[in-house]
Homo-oligomer: A and B are copies of this chain.
Amino acid sequence: VRISELAHRTGVPVHTLKYYLREGLLMPGEASSRTRATYDERHVERVRLVRALVEHGGVGIAGVRSILAALDSPPPSRHELLGVAHGILPGGSTGDTDRDVDVDPGVLALLERLGWEADCSPWVAVLADALARARSAGVTLPLDDLEGYARAMRSVAEVDLTVAERARSAEEAMRVVVLGTVLVDPVLLALRRLAQQAESAARPRARR
């Protein structure tokens, strides 16, 4: 199909498609004349993926480029997969993170108590940063609450890993971990709000 049809099918404007082409996020179409190219299903799929990452996953152009590169050449063993996937994921959906943030010793002790050997994980800094930002806006999270949240997110991770283990190839597992993490985040946040309503309705009114 021509680029106008690709735009129609994906809902992405032609000028944005040309931008994706220029930035190397979309592979070139097959030249059908000196000024025209045709596109196929692979292009439709790729455009949808790029769009989801850029618009809904909060991933920048450079991040999309490394995610695409990783999907095109997955690591040789599944063992390294999570490390590679995490290395290319952006710092949560919080945007850039100041890696110099101090980590509360209480938080480190909590992670150790949970058996999370997280010493050298960059996500510890992301976590500390998110906590510091909440605190600067007047929301301080006691360690007991943080522990409750951590245990709940461990259950989320159990589902995440089970999904990744079901994948039939390293390529698919990579795709599941990277996209599943970025694109399932908004699903989890919507579920959190629905669960708040359910939990609120279930609690005795006298306590509210």
Contact = CB atoms under 8 A, between A and B. Distances in A.
Interface in A100-131: 111, 114-118, 121, 123-124, 126-127, 130-131
A136 B58 CA distance: 16
Contacts of A194: 111, 116, 118, 121, 123-124, 127, 150, 153
Interface residues of A, number: 88
A92 B114 CA distance: 28
A168 interface: no
Nearest to A50: B137
A4 interface: no
Given A56-B95, A149-B156, 16 more contacts: A48-B136, A79-B208, A92-B193, A93-B93, A111-B194, A145-B163, A150-B195, A152-B152, A153-B188, A154-B198, A158-B199, A161-B199, A161-B200, A161-B203, A181-B192, A188-B192
